[in-house]
Amino acid sequence: MAERVRVALDATPLIGRPTGVGSFCAGVLSALARRGDVDPLAYAVSWRRRHAIDGRVPAGVAVARRAMPARPLHLAWRHADLPPVEWFVGRTDVVHGTNFVVPPARDAARVVTVHDLTALRFPEMSAPATQAFPALVRRAAGHGAWVHTHSHLVAQEVVDMLGVDPDRVRAVHSGIPSLPPPDRAAPSRFLPAGTSRYVLAVGTAEPRKDLPGLVAAFDEIAEKKGAEGERRRDLALVLAGPPGWGSAELDAALRAARVRDRIVVTGWVDDATLAGLLAGATLLAYPSRYEGFGFPPLQAMAAGVPVVSTRAGALEEVLGDAAMLVAPGERDALAAALDAVVGSEDLQASLAARGLERAARYDWDRCAAGLTALYRDAIAR
């Protein structure tokens, strides 16, 4: 039997409101803990909130207790290989930085997860805080770290745009974040009077998600004339997600919409509410301009909900033929796809069936197996 691998994994993203990176951390830690050949240890790079991961770390995962003050450590790690992670977590075979940053190490192999390269490919659509990520990944890779990505597309981008040795870049598909039992009353709390069907979108209001484009496309299909227009009067658009640095553009699109009274912005919702909104949706729309993976459309597929998405970034790789795909930024094409799915129960059923089959490919245990193989290769090299 292979020797057990001790891996220290950055669980800082578990702190605060759940994010996609936090969901990845929770799913991977839980799956690693189920394996018989890995000893996972969670650490948090935080001084004041260092105990906040205690109740969020899955069963079977140990927690490193020594304080790791974020600001001075991140500043030091940008310019030097000190202090090593072993000062804080003890001896470990591998340290895995789950969000673009991996600490230096004295003896441990290093792995860093790159979720996407928005900061390089679309700097105008990236938040200022993310601008330092590419340089951090380059530095880590230059000092021997391995790079993990969720998709083959981002793996190739890391090689092409960051100049990382392709032998040290590994694509391992993520699992799908699980959701609790749905709150079946969720739709009724948000839907405008007179509506019963809805197109759902999930995501933070940021430019990369192109929610203004979705509002414009929905406005077009919801205002049809004649008999079909009458049948659309019960159709709403529900935008579920927190405000972000694209909220001003979204607000402008909402003000311009002719059917503003049938568009709802929920703000952040908890997982039970999200599950309830997914369960009742006619379809999920995902108009993103760039993605490194794509949790929301996969969650919709796992719930049996048809998906209309762009093929931006890794979405075509991840969703395949189980979603109706359109070019990013093409609002007329997005409107046509929404129109086709809303208007055809047969198409809805076909997409839902293909989506369930596609979603079954993305499993946390498979993800953990792929990462464990990566850890062992990193140790051997």
Map out the domains of the chain with their CATH numbers.
5-175+363-380 (3.40.50.2000), 186-359 (3.40.50.2000)
Quote the DSSP letter at residue 64: -
Contact 131, 363 (CB under 8 A): no
Q: What percent of the chain has pLDDT over 90?
A: 78
Region of poorest pLDDT, from 77-91, 139-153, 235-249: 77-91
- The pLDDT-based confidence of 262 (bands split at 50, 70, 90) is very high
Given a contact cutoff of 8 angstroms between Cβ atoms, the answer to whether 121 and 35 are in contact is no
Confidence of residue 78 (pLDDT cuts 50, 70, 90): confident
pLDDT at 308: 98
In the structure encoding, which two tokens stand for residue 231, read together? 């049948």
C-alpha closest to that of 317 among 347, 366, 370, 361: 361
pLDDT at 50: 66
Name which residue leads in pLDDT, 69 or 273: 273
Neighbours of 36 (CB within 10 A): 7
DSSP 8-class letter at 198:
E
**What's the rounded Cα separation, in Å, for the pair 77 and 94?**
17
What is the reported pLDDT for 331?
Answer: 95
Least reliable range by pLDDT among 20-34, 119-133, 278-292, 309-323: 119-133
Say how far apart CA 309 and CA 312 lie, in whole Å.
8
User: Is the pLDDT score of 48 beyond 80?
Assistant: no
Q: What residues contact 48, with CB distance under 8 A and at least 6 apart?
A: none
Q: Which of 1, 43, 6 is nearest to 372 (CA)?
A: 6
**CA–CA dist 105, 140 (Å, integer):** 11
| CA dist., res. 269 & res. 113, Å (int) | 27
Instruction: Judge whether 151 and 242 are in contact, CB under 8 Å.
Output: no
The helix or strand, by DSSP H or E, that contains position 336, with its residue range, turns out to be: helix 331-342
- Residue 225: the pLDDT is 59
Beta bridge partner(s), residue 6: 39
Helix axes 331-342 and 211-222, enclosed angle (nearest 10): 50
Report, as an integer, the average pLDDT of 84-98: 94
Q: Write down the pLDDT at residue 68.
A: 79
Question: CB neighbours (10 Å) of residue 141?
Answer: 22
Of 20, 204, 38, residue with least CA distance to 99: 20
